[in-house]
Amino acid sequence: MLFDKEQSKSVLPNQDKAAGRALVDVILVSYNQEKFIAQAIESILAQQTDFTFRLMIGDDASTDNTQTIIRSYAAQHPDRITLLLDSEHRGLKNRDRVGLRALAMATARYIAWLDGDDYWTNPDKLQRQVSFLEGHPDFAISYHNAAMTFMDGSRVTENCLPPRQPAVSTIEDLIRGNFIPTCTTVFRRGLAGELPEWLGTLGMADWPIHILNAQHGKIGYLNEVMASYRIHDGGAWSSAPPSDKSLEVLKMLEHVDAYFGFRYQKQINATKAEWYYELAESAYRDGAQHNCRTYLSKYLSLGRFRLDRRTVSLFLRIRMRGLYQFLRFIRDLGHSTRGPANGVLKNSTPSKS
């Protein structure tokens, strides 16, 4: 086990304690989240630590009462809360968006991140994660599990991560897919130096930032639910059409590939291929045959053609539709003449022997 609960008594630099400097900058980002923002702030202020932390709240020019609520908390805790309140809505794809500005302004050794519609559920969260990173200098990122709540009631609450989530992961694992819920992460500040310009052109920031950080250390997982991750229509990323999100991921992977000088191209191409395959399937279901052929070609160009059932099926449906329909006809004909499974006729009496 990488982390023991008894480790929560951290060994922190005496100079930081003596100077009262924040060891952690908690970045809280919001936009039109008046229903949730107070709970998010309260969950941060409730953290019990033996070190100082600062709360940096960035709001992207909310049009509801979010900023009013934020200012009220800042007035009550002027020594703990720093505000970055935009008067102009910038959205996600903007180099000057508030979350990236807060990250650039941070000065603490560690960064914790929380979106304004999520909240932490364990007051020891920060203490335990910082203690882990202090005791494991070869790790760049610490994260834990979270409860995923569907606000429309369409699904019951479930954990974001599976029971057998690995205790240690690497940059190669992270390139294959983002398994770190944003509300669960604590990472070392400044590992990647100045953030690249292309980061501000993407509809996401957490996954690429984690990848940039993971080149400098391992990723440690604490198998405990200590946050609540909400899924709702107002989420800027979660409410986007699936095809738009897929294209954003592919764009991000292109940038990451170039950033690393194509050092991880094999892993990145494998991930890109999966996203192109999903785009091709989605386009096929939507009847967008031209887009489906385009995405299928990109999938195959990445060297991912395999004689598995899904790939052959999609290839035949798009490239050899007549053959595909003929094979389906033969299959259906075989099913209708064979009868029930194992060749047992409906009216026969099975033998007892």
Q: What pLDDT shows up at residue 152? A: 76
Residue 305, SS3 per DSSP: coil
Domains of the chain, each with CATH number or no CATH = 8-231 (3.90.550.10), 242-334 (no CATH)
pTM, 2 dp: 0.83
According to DSSP, the β-strands at 110-115 and 119-120 are unpaired
Q: Tell me the DSSP string of 77-91.
A: -TTTEEEEE-SS---
* Local mean pLDDT, 10-residue blocks, the chain (353 residues): 42 48 96 96 98 97 97 97 94 88 96 97 98 98 96 86 97 97 97 93 94 98 97 69 91 98 96 93 89 89 70 70 53 54 35 37
Q: Which of 175, 174, 173 is nearest to 271 (CA)?
A: 175
Q: Quick one: pLDDT at residue 79?
A: 95
What is the phi/psi pair of residue 229, to 5°?
-110, 115
Instruction: Report the C-alpha gap between 197 and 104 in whole angstroms.
Output: 12
pLDDT score recorded for residue 95: 81
Question: Is residue 118 within 8 Å of 227, Cβ to Cβ?
Answer: yes
pLDDT of residue 93: 85
Beta strands 119-120 and 218-231 are antiparallel
Cα-to-chain-centroid distance, residue 253: 14
Residue owning tokens 């292309």: 198
> What is the structure's pLDDT at 13?
46
Radius of gyration of the chain (CA): 25
